[in-house]
Amino acid sequence: MLFVLLSAIFCASNSKAEIEVVISGASESVSSFRRAGVEYFSLSELTALYGERLSWDIPGVSVEYRTGNNRMRFFIESQYLTLNDSVRNLIYPAELRDGALFLPAETFVPIINQARTERFLWDSNRRRLYVQSGAFNITNLLVSKKANGLLIEIQLTEELDFEVTESEGNWINFNIPNGLVNRSLIESRRTAREIRDINAFQFDHSAQVSIRLRKKPHAYNAKYNPETGKIQLAIRNPNYKPKDKPPHAGQIGPDNTVDLIVIDAGHGGADNGAIGRRYTKEKDISLKISLELAKLIRKDKLFRVILTRDKDVYVPLEERARIANEAHADLFISIHMNASVNKHARGSQVFFLAPAKTDASRALAQAENASFLTHKNEIELDSNDDLAIIVNDMIQNSYEEVSADLSTIVQSEFDRTLGIPSRGVDQAGFVVLNQVYMPSALIEVAFVSNSKEEQLLRSKSFRKKVAKSIYTALKRFKRKYEKK
């Protein structure tokens, strides 16, 4: 039994595992093992991530690693290595396992930092190796195949101007003034089936990333996404037929009239949204206001109305958008309550879809998108991927001005009737608005985190006042745009 126990301990201490390698925000993994409290990782696999390789001088005895102008030589079962012409001490010996070179992470990281321009950091608690490309502002390239085409993303550390050109042989070239490119990492991304070759060039005052596709691109669209810090190139698949075609882009309704309104009560079910000091839940208040607004609309019969939810249930953001799109709605109104760590923050605010201009609006969008980010890995919808967002930019842009006007009209009614401070109209990147193909607005009625406004939100008369203000704004919008 003692022999079995010792064998089990030995196997556990020498078991093969993996560590996480974070390179320019992208997560990879390489083989590892732990022995006597020392974490070893595979340098063979790490160099492969950069498109590099190790060269054995004497198989199983000594191995050389060249990176840039530097040269390292390791000796199996020896704690010593050479860096160019100097001898360094690893403290723990280099190991050979399954034909791969393994090195102790803690003691090797300071040495590799002297050989490469990137900075390596080892987090022993998280078993994670960080590679910080501080010398580069073009740090990574990602290729993703989507249902409706191909998405190519170039990761930047700062916003840079760029130009996209085509050249013979199915090459697409990104010309980036003031770019400093991590050539080895980007050129290692040749593994995608749709990519024949990748080249990266560094010039005196610019950089170029060139991608050779296996097929000539049918049509593509490129933009810089400030939310992710990436240049995104969407190449459309000409054979793709979306399940839900965006209806009537660029006009108000199919007949240029405003007839059908979708009211979206924010959050619901397990997603409480913001919660006030008296445990007032955003999901409950948004639903009560939405039901009151729907009641007003149905009474007058000036519009038809659809609710994305009429009870306390969770509805994914992408499903809310699908409901509106399939109904060919004319307007989409999403109702929410605001919240802040600052208990004195007050007022109403209305948003339309556009890149956030302030940290506050960016933070609010992140909070409202939280449920989507939590569930996005559980639900696969074509409208949900980055490519769909880029391809639909022209459609969204055609509604941006009208959505801004709708938001302004709603906010002006709030200013006139609610008796609380106005925070004005703003723009931000809300997922639920990003996927609807119609003019839309997201309303933050008041701050549930503010004790005075929480008390108002709990008042039935105040909620009726909010619903009436929104309804008046909808009628104003209808009168204005149906004349055109």
What DSSP assignment string belongs to 373-405?
A: HHHTTT---GGGSHHHHHHTHHHHHHHHHHHHH
Query: Are 220 and 299 part of one and the same domain?
Result: no
* Per-residue pLDDT, 293: 95
Convert the pLDDT of each residue in 255-296 to its tens digit.
Answer: 567 889 999 998 899 888 888 889 999 999 999 999 999 999
Convert the pLDDT of each residue in 47-68 to its tens digit.
Answer: 887 777 888 888 888 999 988 7
- In DSSP terms, 4 is beta-bridged to none
Query: Are 221 and 321 part of one and the same domain?
Result: no
CATH of the domain at 313: 3.40.630.40
Query: Are 284 and 377 part of one and the same domain?
Result: yes
Query: Are 306 and 453 part of one and the same domain?
Result: yes
Q: Which residues, in sequence order, are CB contacts of 323 under 8 Å at separation 6+? A: 262, 306, 308
pLDDT band at 80 (very low <50, low <70, confident <90, very high): very high
* Per-residue pLDDT, 4: 42
Would you say residue 254 lies in a domain? no
Residue 193 · residue 203 · CB < 8 Å: no
Q: Mean of the pLDDT values across residues 398-405?
A: 76
Convert the pLDDT of each residue in 225-258 to its tens digit.
Answer: 887 788 988 887 777 655 444 444 444 554 567 8
Would you say residue 250 lies in a domain? no
- Tell me the three state secondary structure of residue 183: helix
Would you say residue 1 lies in a domain? no
Would you say residue 474 lies in a domain? yes
Query: Are 225 and 279 part of one and the same domain?
Result: no
Domain end (from 132, 156, 178): 132
Query: Are 203 and 278 part of one and the same domain?
Result: no
* Per-residue pLDDT, 382: 39
Q: Which domain holds residue 277?
A: 260-482
* Per-residue pLDDT, 234: 85
Query: Are 341 and 467 part of one and the same domain?
Result: yes
- Dihedral sign of CA atoms 417, 418, 424, 425 in order: negative
Convert the pLDDT of each residue in 345-370 to its tens digit.
Answer: 899 988 876 544 444 544 554 555 55
Q: Mean of the pLDDT values across residues 63-82?
A: 90
Query: Are 323 and 465 part of one and the same domain?
Result: yes
* Per-residue pLDDT, 381: 34
Would you say residue 64 lies in a domain? yes
- The Cα 318–Cα 155 span in angstroms is 26
Would you say residue 22 lies in a domain? yes
What is the number of structural domains in the chain?
3
Structure tokens at 49: 């991530």
CATH of the domain at 34: 3.30.457.10
Full-model pTM? 0.48
Would you say residue 243 lies in a domain? no
* Per-residue pLDDT, 69: 74
Average pLDDT, the chain: 80
- Tell me the three state secondary structure of residue 198: strand
Query: Are 458 and 395 part of one and the same domain?
Result: yes
Convert the pLDDT of each residue in 368-396 to its tens digit.
Answer: 555 444 444 333 333 344 445 444 544 44
Domain end (from 169, 201, 236): 236
Query: Are 155 and 122 part of one and the same domain?
Result: no
